[in-house]
Structure 1
Amino acid sequence: MAVALRRWSLAALIATAAAMAVLHAAASLAEGSESTLITCDNGQKNGSAGPENPLYFKCGESMTLNPTSTTQVYLDAKCTDQAELNTVVPGATLNGPSQRPAGLQGTNDVYTLTINTAPEATKTLCYKCEGKSTPVVQHRSEDLTQSNKKECKIVITVAAAPTVSTTAPHATSDTDISTSTTEAPVASSGTVISNPTTVTAVFATALAHGLFLQ
């Protein structure tokens, strides 16, 4: 009996550890993390940033970031009006490649948008990566060439801080107390498990338990 109990406990620990590893791996794939670096070279790229979710992005080859100052940002998805980043989202900072150690510069021209405190309202930020495409020869003039402007937008959503309810608690009267103490508890028809980690752990535990008892 003691041996079976020890085997069951070991199986439960293994199952719980496996479930936590799966959840951790899923969380590491969040958009804007270093493993999902946004490279803006054409069209529009979308991302999100928050207090625990910095955004990493870079411009395409031979393209430069606009606004050129890391203290400036475009206000919305149109990328037209500029403002101070720290004014739009207090405490936010953009660290550019020039602010990285020399060993991390060069091909890894990565910008890091850090949000220290969530804003009161959701904000939309925008940056542009600009460059020039390959010159195109005009058909009606053999002596003239046209360099098309290449542009990519990075539209970033910064979610608002969660609201805190200020509703006063319901006053409990003597009648409520009397009623609550005399009512019998509702019988539960079964155990409800809503946490996915618990479900995974229970399933793996049951499976391991069955294997050990065979």
Structure 2
Amino acid sequence: MAAYHKIQTVFLRDPAAHYATVLEGQFVTPEFEYLKQNTWMFTEKVDGTNIQVQWNRESVEFAEKTDRVDIPTCLREKLQEMFAPEVFLPWEAPALTLYGEGYGARIQRGGGTYIPDGCSFILFDVLVKGIWLERQDVEDIANKLHLQVVPLVGKGTLYKAIEMVKRGYPSQLRRTPPEGIVMRPEVELRDRHGERIITKLKMKDFAR
């Protein structure tokens, strides 16, 4: 099963602050800097554990981002409940991999601020035949499978996303402020190495 790629922070981290914060204006990649004034889509970053759900047209498999980590028992039971093979059959789903976040109580510190007495899965990406689906298609699959999708919290330049993180914005998923924002170009793009152009910022990336 293909692991989800790393999402780089938009700016370099500050060694003087033990890499806890970022060096604003010093972009990690030339692509981020080149595209900084283009339109990006912003989604709420969820503080959980990365989960992959693979459907091969016959059965379902689950995996964490790394094989070195086991899926918590409570989350595995929830995934088995949500993704029985029968949910894929009525719409003749193609072979695909769903990427999302397992979140809720007992998953990461503060997971109970999302779901106090349980856990669940929220979708953020879908891969079909090596192609990352567009947002509207991800939402369509989520509707078919009765899944939540990470909230779209804005659109604009990278500078707009940076200001949102610095000012703070209300979470649509938990009682406390969100972990941050994930930003991707409105049109799916790759760099010259074939890697997706996608980035993130966390609230704690800026010293307060």
TM-score range, shorter chain: under 0.3
Q: TM-score, normalised by structure 2?
A: 0.22
Q: Which has the larger radius of gyration?
A: 1
Q: Going by fraction, where is strand more abundant, 1 or 2?
A: 2
Q: TM-score, normalised by structure 1?
A: 0.21
Q: Going by fraction, where is helix more abundant, 1 or 2?
A: 1
